[in-house]
């Protein structure tokens, strides 16, 4: 018997919980897959729907399942975990966490910028810069949308790269060693176009990581990174300075 097999002496709701865990452990259900409904589980185990609901609720409280109103209950995608302040290659982080990475390019072009986009890069409005918009996937689940602006001095070579094979972060780190990082993180509601790319409801909050990077004291890039909260985790640990 596998470790996820139901045990007959368990309460039925625990047997149902173990059964669903087993489907996930064995790969029958993957991240983002819909699990059997409460009605289906109740029929399968010959119990009330209330008992099935108790099993589903336990798994939701443990973060294993996620319920989406009007759609059903799904296996929660595994979180991609990255340090808060370090600049890391998402491809490598996903690989190191046991996932499979791939990327889809939405836009890769020269773009004339105005307003906030120009201010963040420290250039006058109306200037042309390199613009990259790319969707990053962890095990075929969209995890992070990157919208990156790169100053014109670095744009030509930047736009020649194949960012499905190497991330923009990895390229910039290889060619322009970092001298300074500025980063802010906030919870935001995204517009419908971003929600569609991330495959979420527009009412679902995301993390927006706004990041500027310098090399040899020259501001090179500004990026907005939109991450789905349940699929992306940031952490940090620092030594506190003695006073």
| C-alpha to C-alpha distance for 177 and 170, rounded to whole angstroms | 11
Torsion angle defined by CA atoms of residues 142, 144, 149 and 153, in that order, rounded to the nearest 10 degrees: -90
More confident residue, 79 or 200: 200
pTM, entire model: 0.64
Q: Higher-confidence residue: 195 or 7?
A: 195
Q: Give the per-residue pLDDT at 243.
A: 46
Mean pLDDT of 60-69: 80
Q: Is the pLDDT of residue 92 over 60?
A: yes
Q: What pLDDT sits at residue 200?
A: 84
Q: Environment class of residue 123 by beta-carbon count within 10 Å: exposed (0-12), middle (13-18) or buried (19+)?
A: middle
* Mean pLDDT in residue range 208-217: 90
pLDDT band at 104 (very low <50, low <70, confident <90, very high): very high
pLDDT at 134 over 90: yes
3-state secondary structure 54-101: HHHHHHHHCCCEEEECCCEEEECCCCEEEECCCCCCHHHHHHHCCCCE
Beta carbons of 65 and 76 less than 8 angstroms apart: yes
Q: What is the largest CA-CA distance in the chain?
A: 71
Range in 39-43, 66-70, 147-151 with the lowest mean pLDDT: 66-70
DSSP secondary structure code for residue 230 in this structure: G
Of the candidates 145, 132, 130, the residue with the CA atom closest to the CA atom of residue 90: 145
pLDDT of residue 242: 47
Query: What would the CATH number be for the domain defined by 80-235?
Result: 3.40.1410.10
Q: Which residues contact 69 (CB under 8 A, 6 or more apart)?
A: none
Q: For residue 16, is pLDDT > 50?
A: yes
Query: What is the model's pLDDT at position 2?
Result: 39
Residue 212 scores a pLDDT above 70? yes
Q: For the ranges 1-5, 148-152, 153-157, 239-243, which has the lowest average pLDDT?
A: 1-5
Output 72 or 104, whichever has higher pLDDT.
Answer: 104
Which pair of tokens denotes residue 241? Answer: 């300075």
Q: How many residues does the chain have?
A: 243
| CA triple 70-75-77, angle to 5 deg | 110
Segments making up each domain of the chain, as ranges: 12-75, 80-235
Beta strand segments in the chain, E: 65-68, 72-75, 80-83, 101-113, 127-138, 141-150, 180-189, 205-215, 218-228, 232-235
When the pLDDT of each residue in the chain is averaged and rounded to a whole number, the result is 83
CATH number for the domain running over 12-75: 1.10.10.10
Closest by CA to 111, choosing from 95, 101, 122, 125, is: 125
Q: Contact 42/49 with Cβ under 8 angstroms?
A: yes
- Residue 231, C-beta contacts closer than 8 angstroms, at least 6 positions apart: 77, 78, 79, 80, 138, 141, 142, 143
Residue with the two structure tokens 């975990």: 81
90-99, 112-121, 153-162, 228-237: which has the minimum mean pLDDT?
228-237
Q: What is the pLDDT of residue 100?
A: 87
pLDDT (mean) for 115-120: 90
Contact 199, 142 (CB under 8 A): yes
pLDDT of the residue at 136: 93
On the question of pLDDT at 1 being above 70, the answer is: no
């Amino acid at each position: 018997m596998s470790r996820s097999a139901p045990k007959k002496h368990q309460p039925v709701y625990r047997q149902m919980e173990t059964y669903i865990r087993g489907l996930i452990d064995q790969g029958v259900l993957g991240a983002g897959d819909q699990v059997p409904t409460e009605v289906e589980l109740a029929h399968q185990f010959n119990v009330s729907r209330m008992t099935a609901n108790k099993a589903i609720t336990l798994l939701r409280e443990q973060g294993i399942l996620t319920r989406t109103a009007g759609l059903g209950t799904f296996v929660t995608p595994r979180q991609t975990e990255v340090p808060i302040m370090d600049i890391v290659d998402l491809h490598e982080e996903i690989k190191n966490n046991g996932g499979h990475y791939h990327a889809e390019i939405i836009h890769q072009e020269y773009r004339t910028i105005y307003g906030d986009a120009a201010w963040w890069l420290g250039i006058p409005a109306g200037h042309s810069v390199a613009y990259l918009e790319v969707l990053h996937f962890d095990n075929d689940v969209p995890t992070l949308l990157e919208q990156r602006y790169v100053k014109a001095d670095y744009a030509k070579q930047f736009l020649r790269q194949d960012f499905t094979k190497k991330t923009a972060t990895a390229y910039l780190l290889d060619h322009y060693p970092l001298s300074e990082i500025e980063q802010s993180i906030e919870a935001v509601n995204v517009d419908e176009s971003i929600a569609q790319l991330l495959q979420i409801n527009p009412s679902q909050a995301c993390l927006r990581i706004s990041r500027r990077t310098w090399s040899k004291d020259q501001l090179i890039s500004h990026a907005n990174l939109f991450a789905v909260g349940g699929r992306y985790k940031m952490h940090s640990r620092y030594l506190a300075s003695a006073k």
